[in-house]
Amino acid sequence: MANKTKRYKAAALSAILVMAVNAGYSQTTMEAQKAGIARFGTGLDLEELPGGQILNLPLPQMEPAKELTGPEVGKKYDYILQKQSAAKFSQLNASQIKSLFHKTSNNKVAALNKVPYYDPSGELGFCFGRAMAAHLLGRRLGLKEQSTGKAFIIGDLKSGETTEWRFHVTAMVRGPGREWFAIDPIMPGPLPIRAWIKEIRALVDKQTKAKIYFTHSDAVMPDVRIFPAPNEEKGERIIELAFDPGGKPGFEPFPADFEPFVFSVDESAANKYFINVHEKPAADRFNFLGLTVNGDRYDYRNYFADLVADIGGSKHGAENIARRLPAITGLAAINSSRGQLFSPRWGGTR
């Protein structure tokens, strides 16, 4: 029984978060994805983006980060949004969207080639960290909060025959024509949200069974703190395969001719089914220091403390990060010996 429980825990962990980053873009994959994006059309000139450099950096010896409490990190996060982000724009132009994608992909903390430091076991992957970075950077560009959001894909996600993860998330921003664009560094450029849905489904949901949820930017991840075994699911939690949003308060389905199984989630439902930055009561809020799943603790290794220090322009924080982390050039990615896009960890977030 103990061995069975241990095996289930390992399986659950390899299914929870998303797309671990022990694998990265091969040049072939980059070109194939650019072709796919051209097929759907982005309205942006992707050739102007820094292109496809593959990095294979050794992990450096790093100094310990300054320890902060979760509430202290949360205060820095709020300071960026409330004091450092003038809400000037209802949408970004094409140049600003490309700049936002570049800044997110090359951020000192959120870049893909930093994942092995913050997630050496490959259990987290930090797609939710990259989505947070894109949101904060978009706000610092002057974008209004209501012109930002998150898009989650949740379901039986796999690139082959075996289930590999349960969710992935990207930040969204309003672009030209008030169209929503995904800022997702696992893609080679910013994408209109409909094109992002097609691309992510082609990668991990070929049977089109996973559900897409649009939420406010406060939502960080589905609530995975309790993760039932498949035979124990009751359809109560959004992370469960048995969960059906149809008819539940706060879930508004998009017309089927947009994309199947796409739902807009209102604030009340997002606060119920997702872990949020400003959730009430405070005990249920997103913990900037780590995640507990079924009683097991997973430490973020100061990822979010470093992220808000970098984006918030803290000189001490930026210097501390610079000493510990290697420099980035180009579109940061990790090269793997297998050359595949995603690695089947328990989430890895890509």
**Any domain includes 237:** yes
Return d(Cα 334, Cα 336) in angstroms, integer: 6
3-state secondary structure of 336: coil
> Is 68 among the domain residues?
yes
82 part of a folded domain = yes
Give me the helices (H) in the chain, please.
2-13, 27-40, 70-83, 94-105, 115-118, 127-140, 193-204, 267-273, 303-311, 315-324
Q: Is residue 301 assigned to a domain?
A: yes
Q: What is the pLDDT of residues 74-122, one digit of tens each?
A: 999 999 999 998 889 999 999 999 999 999 999 999 999 999 999 998 8
Spatial CA neighbour of 307 closest among 109, 123, 175, 147: 109
Segments forming the whole domain that contains residue 300: 14-324
Query: What proportion of the chain, given as a percentage, has pLDDT over 90?
Result: 57
Amino acid at 48: E
The H-or-E segment that residue 182 falls in is: strand 180-183
Alpha helices in 22-69 (DSSP H): 27-40
Band of residue 260 on the pLDDT scale cut at 50, 70, 90: confident
| Confidence at 314, pLDDT banded by 50, 70, 90 | low
Residue 347 lies in a domain: no
Pairwise pLDDT comparison (314 vs 4), residue with the higher score? 314
Check whether 219 has a pLDDT greater than 80.
yes
**Contacts with 210 (C-beta within 8 Å, 6 or more apart), sequence order:** 153, 154, 155, 156, 157, 201, 204, 261
Tokens 């589905």 belong to 222
Q: What is the pLDDT of residues 117-143, one digit of tens each?
A: 999 988 888 999 999 999 999 999 999
* Residue 292 domain flag: yes
**Is 289 among the domain residues?**
yes
Has residue 2 been placed in a domain?
A: no
Element (H, E) at 222: strand 219-222
pLDDT tens column, 317-344:
545 555 555 543 333 332 222 222 222 2
Domains held by the chain: number: 1
